[in-house]
Amino acid sequence: MLIETADVLSNNLLTGEYRVLVLASPQIGPQVQPGQFVHLRLPHLTEAVLRRPFSVFMTDGATLSLLYKCVGKGTRAMARLRPGDTVSLLGPLGKGFPPIDRDITPVLVAGGYGMAALYLLARQAPVQGIVFAGGARTEDILCADDFETIGWQVRITTEDGSRGDKGLVTEALDAWLRQERTSPARVFFACGPMSMLKAVSQRAQTGGWKAWLSLDRHMGCGLGACLACVQKVRVSPSSPQNEATVKPEAGWTWARICTEGPVFECRDILWDEP
Ligand SMILES: Cc1cc2nc3c(=O)[nH]c(=O)nc-3n(C[C@H](O)[C@H](O)[C@H](O)COP(=O)(O)OP(=O)(O)OC[C@H]3O[C@@H](n4cnc5c(N)ncnc54)[C@H](O)[C@@H]3O)c2cc1C
Ligand code: FES
């Protein structure tokens, strides 16, 4: 984990409330693995003193891109960044997605800016698969063309029907699963709202496939110290171990999303807590 002062190279509007911030990051950029995140602070903007976590959308050697949605004061302050400004980066943080094996069909499922956490994974994969991209409306469908350019199939759904099929992303996934009965060696990788992740988890467990889910939670330190980001997980051979908080009699523990996550295999997540 490193701390770096990064120059803003560009900060362009993508669509609706979404922008892409490109930073010079010769130290952190080359170390980022798909699904990892950075904790960003805006030193010269006093209205956003705390760091905010963002998945790394793209890294290309010495640069690093974040695809972000303007939702509050921190992200609105980010929208005002211009080339020549600097930000403070802490990263790369967390445990990202496991590498994709050549002999499986990867199935990516994203809601809104969840596409940002999955793009680097798709770029580095040794095989192409299919991406289900969902959002409320057209503006929430992000970088679908980028996935198509690198050879992935993209299925789009919007809740208002303004782009792709009308409905939820998991409805499109269900339709595809009914059709594609001959491809049993599949693994799901997903990032988006909790309700979507839970639905993906149900499909994966019913079909006997693995699903690696990137959880999004409010964060404090990003470094495992403040416990602001905990998630209840099963204690199992594949689950993260946090000795300090293990409740062996109940078979569960609190995992810190910033440190043991943000990516977990769906069978390790206990959905009803906290
Ligand atoms: C591991 C991780 C990766 C992330 N990656 C991305 C990304 O690639 N692109 C992106 O746009 N955002 C991402 N986020 C969410 C991002 O961190 C928040 O949107 C951001 O911190 C909001 O800051 P703000 O000051 O603008 O909003 P605030 O003023 O703090 O909050 C505005 C509104 O957003 C809600 N909110 C704030 N943070 C979160 C959150 N983490 N999850 C759900 N709701 C939240 C608040 O409850 C409030 O309603 C990620 C979060 C995590 C934990
Ligand atoms: S954000 Fe502080 S422990 Fe995770």
Question: pTM for the full model?
Answer: 0.93
What is the architecture, at CATH level 2, of domain 2-93? Beta Barrel (2.40)
Tell which atom from ligand 2 comes closest to the C-alpha of 258.
4
> Which residue out of 54, 97, 142 has the highest number of ligand 1 atoms within 8 Å of its CB and is therefore the one to mutate?
54
- Whether ligand 1 lies within 6 angstroms of the CB of 71 is answered as yes
* Cα-to-centroid distance, 183 and ligand 2 (Å): 39
Tell which atom from ligand 2 comes closest to the C-alpha of 220.
1
Structure-token match 């689950």, residue found? 239
CATH 2.40.30.10 residue ranges of the chain are: 2-93
What is the architecture, at CATH level 2, of domain 105-216? 3-Layer(aba) Sandwich (3.40)
Backbone angles phi, psi at 205, to 5 degrees: -70, -35
Supply the residue whose CA is at minimum distance from atom 43 of ligand 1: 217
CATH 3.40.50.80 residue ranges of the chain are: 105-216
- Whether ligand 1 lies within 6 angstroms of the CB of 261 is answered as no
Supply the residue whose CA is at minimum distance from atom 17 of ligand 1: 53
Structure tokens at 20: 């892409």
Residue 41: count of CB within 10 angstroms of its CB = 16
Instruction: Give the chain's radius of gyration (CA, Å).
Output: 18
- Whether ligand 1 lies within 6 angstroms of the CB of 247 is answered as no
- Tens-digit pLDDT string for the chain (274 aa): 899 999 999 999 999 999 999 999 999 999 999 999 999 998 776 666 789 999 999 999 899 999 999 999 999 999 999 999 999 999 999 999 999 999 999 999 999 999 999 999 999 999 999 999 999 999 999 999 999 999 999 999 999 999 999 999 999 999 999 998 776 689 999 999 999 999 999 999 999 999 999 999 899 999 999 999 999 999 865 555 555 555 555 788 999 999 999 999 999 999 875 4
Among all ligands shown, which has an atom nearest to the Cα of 258?
Answer: 2
Dist CA 204 CA 77 (whole Å): 39
Closest CA to 10 of 93, 78, 70: 78
Dist CA 127 CA 120 (whole Å): 13
* Cα-to-centroid distance, 103 and ligand 1 (Å): 35
